[in-house]
Structure 1
């Protein structure tokens, strides 16, 4: 079957209707309220859309409905695994919900920067904003934009005094589970290689580590590392192994810091996990292929993105929404074991 396409060359909604053998209004319902259309009719329309390569005219839709289907995303611009994966998860969840994202990178928290961001988003007629805020500086930027558009903050927890609905992973609980795992294995000399203190994630993981060790009657030890990279974990672990009584277990700020810790142990002739157990956080894509495969705390990034979009859609309806916390999970692999006798 061949359908005549409008002279402009771009298929229109009428072209889709003709090919599917339905009315223009039915095609509109499939695009805007598909749940109101019978499954067999919806399938026929969707098949015609795919065959013709029909694309919605978002400009015309915006003029008619004052809605653009655009969501603004503010990112700190870090190439680190966590913020990058969160950005991807939000984009994927937005697409599933029928929205597109407009991304801008913000590295400062001054009023001028916040004003520039809002001007950019308002100029693109976004319907709401999601701010990825792994550090306090980003949360303060979000605070300066409150009230202008619906907004959701994604991070480990808002800065005190920042009144923004938030969605976050329970970093503290993840650290407690990692600590409990090492305690249950029998470790007593343990160290947490803590991430940069300005990051919410690092603060919460450190707090969870302290809580679990204190609950077990142990003295919590934290060693600050310079950053989130393997080199940071490598340097810190070299110093630890030079001590009179090195730790028998290391809980690293993230998987890359853990990778550096493992490398430092191996270079010094220490076996992992025979003499030193190492655990990480994030469950990066290659964590199961480290040598040895890394025990880590998996962050549910897909669920985080889904919850962020859900919270924003709720805000579109001007409904009050409570902040949401999603739970991580401990993934046991071969980098941890009971301490040597």
Structure 2
């Protein structure tokens, strides 16, 4: 008689499940690997046997059969400090987890520093460690262009401006146009802006919407400064605008972190918001509600964007064609306008 130490028994095998369910080992394998050509009653029998025996598939063996790892990556080409300080990224990652919530897929976070050679991340994505990827906050075309040549399924959050790559994005131009129009409707005529990085489509398109709204109203743009979506850059850009001596009575800031930085600078300079200068941000982050005064802002639902991207990636992995998705934005009114 075989004795097992401390009363332990070996983990159940595929053969044990097959005997319990009264089917062949090959049938159990097909059920475990998600094959569709198995009778529903047989699937139920196999699943019951798996549950009864507490069977756990061998991931390594399963990967050899299915050529799948059961892992997808959320790729963020940003500095660690920004990933963990900007509320957009935790919300986006949560959205990816929600999108894969009804599957056995593990979602890992891969941070690639801006300026790193694209081939470093490409080697990781092409190494066989992941089945696909969601890419957030990309700078420039290099990564997207290289991914377009690879076989790995990928979905971008934000337009990669690369033909053939699916993405989900906000209507960036319309959202920033709405933000600027709101300031114009409130009677402001010298509207400044702090843009995001201009090597990102979001940064350029939010600037375009700002310009379009002013042009349609017959107004010249006020001071324009470039930030990098961090609070510190918002403070510095607002300080440069004040130091220039240029006249302005309102400002559209391309994200809420920079906008709260600008609020701080204006407060230090003795300006009252919104009496002396009206401020509108972008993202509807939690800090917009917590600032004083509360920050009027545009919605940019990071969790929804990444959840939709995850659903698109699931379809892509299943061989189902997908088309890119554009989501709308609307203003959230608070005390800064």
Query: What TM-score comes out, normalization by structure 2 length?
Result: 0.78
Residue 122 (structure 1) shift: 4.2
User: Are 2:105 and 1:104 equivalent residues in the alignment?
Assistant: no
Q: Contact (CA 8 Å) 1:167, 1:325: kept in 2 or not?
A: yes
User: Are 2:206 and 1:205 equivalent residues in the alignment?
Assistant: yes
Aligned equivalents of 1:224, 1:238: Cα separation in 2: 10
Q: Contact (CA 8 Å) 1:303, 1:326: kept in 2 or not?
A: no
Name the residue aligned to 1:126.
130
**Greater alpha carbon shift after TM alignment, 176-185 vs 216-225:** 216-225
1:28/1:222 CA distance change after superposition, 3 Å? farther
Residue 332 (structure 1) shift: 1.0
1:331/1:33 CA distance change after superposition, 3 Å? farther
- Gaps of at least 5 residues in structure 1 are 337-341
SS of the residue 1:198 aligns to: coil
Name the residue aligned to 1:59.
60
1:30/1:182 CA distance change after superposition, 3 Å? farther
Aligned equivalents of 1:331, 1:250: Cα separation in 2: 16
1:33/1:203 CA distance change after superposition, 3 Å? same
1:331/1:75 CA distance change after superposition, 3 Å? same
Q: Residues 260-293 of structure 1, C-alpha deviation per residue, up to 9 Å, x if partnerless?
A: 2111222222211122111111122222111111
SS of the residue 2:138 aligns to: coil
Aligned equivalents of 2:292, 2:334: Cα separation in 1: 11
Residue 120 (structure 1) shift: 2.9
Q: Contact (CA 8 Å) 1:72, 1:129: kept in 2 or not?
A: yes
Q: Contact (CA 8 Å) 1:154, 1:308: kept in 2 or not?
A: yes
Aligned equivalents of 1:281, 1:23: Cα separation in 2: 59
Matches within 5 A, 1:1-341: 7-8=9-10, 32=34, 56-78=57-79, 79-80=82-83, 81=86, 82-107=88-113, 113-114=118-119, 116-136=120-140, 139-159=141-161, 161-241=162-242, 246-336=247-337
Q: Contact (CA 8 Å) 1:71, 1:100: kept in 2 or not?
A: yes
Aligned equivalents of 2:190, 2:121: Cα separation in 1: 48
1:118/1:197 CA distance change after superposition, 3 Å? closer
Q: Contact (CA 8 Å) 2:197, 2:228: kept in 1 or not?
A: yes
- What is the count of residue pairs matched by the alignment? 318
Q: Contact (CA 8 Å) 1:69, 1:126: kept in 2 or not?
A: yes
Aligned equivalents of 2:153, 2:222: Cα separation in 1: 38
1:195/1:15 CA distance change after superposition, 3 Å? same
1:6/1:167 CA distance change after superposition, 3 Å? farther
Residue 242 (structure 1) shift: 5.2
